[in-house]
Amino acid sequence: MIDHFSLPVSDLQRSKPFYVAVLGALGYLSLRADVFDGYAAFGFGDDPDGEPPFWIGGPTAEGVPGPQISFGQHIAFTARSRDLVDAFHAAGLAAGGADNGPPGLRPQYHQDYYAAFLLDPDGHHIEAVCHRPA
């Protein structure tokens, strides 16, 4: 249902390796980079021939400001297995993210809701979730 979404980041050179690591753990690729009006963006997805559904962006190295930075956003990425949720969490911690909830069941959502939560380098709330039974 979502076509694409993006997060503003304060330091693109710091945030890109974080997202390459955590999304790579889920099988997603860094598909495209764009620069426009002093604003750089990197697009991620799982279809090398398609449009990236997820973007991060920030000012270019020249320091031209992009859109207003907004903190505390929450994004949940689909994981095809619980092992991939675990890999997402481990990759995020190794890439400089902060734990915001270790991998595990969240039965308050439903009996098979297996998720892990991280804070990215800008404090955005990032989640990987698998809805499949073990």
Q: Summarize pLDDT for 88-103 with one digit per residue, the tens.
A: 999 999 999 999 999 9
The SS3 of residue 18 is: helix
CATH superfamily membership of 74-130: 2,3-Dihydroxybiphenyl 1,2-Dioxygenase, domain 1 (3.10.180.10)
CB burial of residue 24 (10 Å; 0-12, 13-18, 19+): middle
Domain boundaries, the chain: 5-59, 74-130
Residue 26 has pLDDT above 80, yes or no: yes
Residue 60 CA neighbour count, 13 Å, CB half: 10
Cβ distance 44 to 23 under 8 Å? yes
Say what the pLDDT of residue 117 is.
93
Number of other residues whose CB lies within 10 A of the CB of residue 56: 22
Which pLDDT band holds residue 51 (cuts at 50, 70, 90)?
confident
Q: Looking at this protein, which amino acid is placed at residue 85?
A: V
CATH match for 5-59 among 3.30.1390, 3.30.720, 3.40.190, 3.40.50: 3.30.720
Cβ distance 118 to 77 under 8 Å? no
Quote the CA–CA distance of 114 and 48 in Å, as a whole number.
28
Cβ distance 55 to 6 under 8 Å? yes
Quote the CA–CA distance of 84 and 110 in Å, as a whole number.
19
The SS3 of residue 9 is: coil
Cβ distance 57 to 10 under 8 Å? no
Q: Residues 40-61: what's their mean pLDDT?
A: 85
